[in-house]
Chain A
Amino acid sequence: MNNLKIAATERSPEVDFDFERGVLVLRGESYPEDASAIFGPIFSALETFLAEGEKREVKMDFDLTYFNSSSAKALMNMFQMLDHAAAAGTKITVSWFFAPDDDTMKEFGEDFSEDLKHVIFNLVAVEDAA
């Protein structure tokens, strides 16, 4: 299936989904006025990709520096989607990046990963996140 590449805007993150290699990246800030406009295409691509059901490895990176409440809800939905797919047999590794001095982002990562049962989850501190 086609890769999904969307450039970042001032209020929405960069989307870099390389489905061929199974490497998916969300990077930047996310506080769109209309969350569904931003996350709608992301979800439908992700859904199609995960439904292909091939037993393969998927890496998904969340490299976010700021997000609003609806983006948070969308992220949780995405986490649940990934966990379902992992339960069904896809090997999924999620990495949550945060700047070492950004405790908030780190705690959100911990918080959001609470419900993950089947996904391999990593918290990764990086010097120059975003």
Chain B
Amino acid sequence: MSFNLFDAEEKTLEQAEILRAGLTDQPESIRTGINDLVDAFSRSVREQRRLVRVSDRLQAQLATVNQELARRRAEAETALGDLQAAQDSLIQSEKLASLGALVGGIAHEINTPVGIALSCASHLADSTAGLRKLFEADNIGIEDFERYLATATDTTTLILSNCERAAALIRSFKQVAVDRASSERRRFDLGDYVRETLASLGPHLRQAGHTVKVECPAGLILDSYPGALSQVLSNFVMNSLIHGFDSGQTGTLSILIDQPTPQWVRLIYADNGKGVPESDLSRIFDPFFTTRRGSGGSGLGLHIVYNLVTGPLGGSVSVEKAANGRGVAFTVTLPLSSEI
């Protein structure tokens, strides 16, 4: 026997039919009354059946829609995952590319001093061989010796200075390849540390006669890499001294620190010197971008700054024209804890 949802209603209707059939000797008003009641009840049962169907249908549709929704959501999540993976690999290849550019640049930079040193050394070797020949033939004159001395002095000076230049380049290259693990991390008071770093630069600053302003909320504790931070500040200060002012000119260097959100500090380094032309602003962090090539600039200082701030320090750095239109301002944003 199959299950019937409306079994009871149907039985009632059967009973009602029997009742109706047995009413033949009842008055007219009772017969129509019962008739109407039975009709209304049977209509009501039909409506009930339809409503159950409507409602079942709606639930089924809802379930389908929910399944579809879950499926699409899963799809979207997969797509998001793929996208993030793609982005990671893009960033990775971007890093590799910039490392490649860096290594290429380093090779190019080092090539010049090494090339000069090499040709000087071979020139010196030739002269030495010539002198030895004269000496062994016992045919050496005072003029020969004097000429040799002049050559030796010139070439060794050039060899020395170019090797020093190469060594300096290699040192900066080491800094660029910031090694996170090797630098020490600890908790330190930001204001104190900034002042200590400036003190260590004191001789340079005093000599130039600039005014230095530091504003920092007291007791601001960072859990980060102080070595990296002081390297950043040193680069800023040395750049101001070298690029910002002509010798004899004095100005103001300022470091303003505040805490825009509980987890982040903002450090604005500014000088009121010559500033950077608009067209150079976007290239200033590029490796080897310098306006002093040939007179000591390698163009790595701000690139190191960029790598330190975005790498171990976990923050960001940007450059603008100084607020009053004179000089340059760098904004460094740092997390209180470099691991967030």
Which A residues fall within an 8 A CB radius of B?
67-69, 72-73, 76, 80, 104, 108, 111-112, 114-115
List, in ascending order, chain A residues with CB within 8 A of B54's CB.
67-69, 72, 108
Contact status B55-A69, CB under 8 Å: yes
Contact status B47-A73, CB under 8 Å: yes
Q: State how many angstroms separate the Cβ of B208 from the closest Cβ of chain A.
A: 71
State the majority secondary structure of interface residues on A.
helix
Residue of B46, B50, B51 with most partner-chain A CB within 10 A: B50
The 8 closest A-B pairs by CB, nearest first: A72-B54, A69-B55, A111-B50, A76-B47, A69-B54, A104-B57, A69-B51, A72-B51
Contact status A69-B58, CB under 8 Å: yes
Contact status B50-A68, CB under 8 Å: no
Q: State how many angstroms separate the Cβ of B325 from the closest Cβ of chain A.
A: 55
Q: How far is the CA of A72 from the CA of B46 in the complex (A)?
A: 13
B135-185 interface (Cβ within 8 A of A): none
Q: State how many angstroms separate the Cβ of A32 from the closest Cβ of chain B.
A: 14
Q: State how many angstroms separate the Cβ of A6 from the closest Cβ of chain B.
A: 23
List, in ascending order, chain A residues with CB within 8 A of B57's CB.
104, 108
Contact status A73-B51, CB under 8 Å: yes
Q: State how many angstroms separate the Cβ of A113 from the closest Cβ of chain B.
A: 11
Contact status A68-B58, CB under 8 Å: yes
Q: Is B53 an interface residue (CB 8 A)?
A: yes
Q: Is B326 an interface residue (CB 8 A)?
A: no
List, in ascending order, chain A residues with CB within 8 A of B283's CB.
none
Q: State how many angstroms separate the Cβ of A101 from the closest Cβ of chain B.
A: 14
One of A67, A80, A104, A112 near B50 (C-beta < 8 A): A112
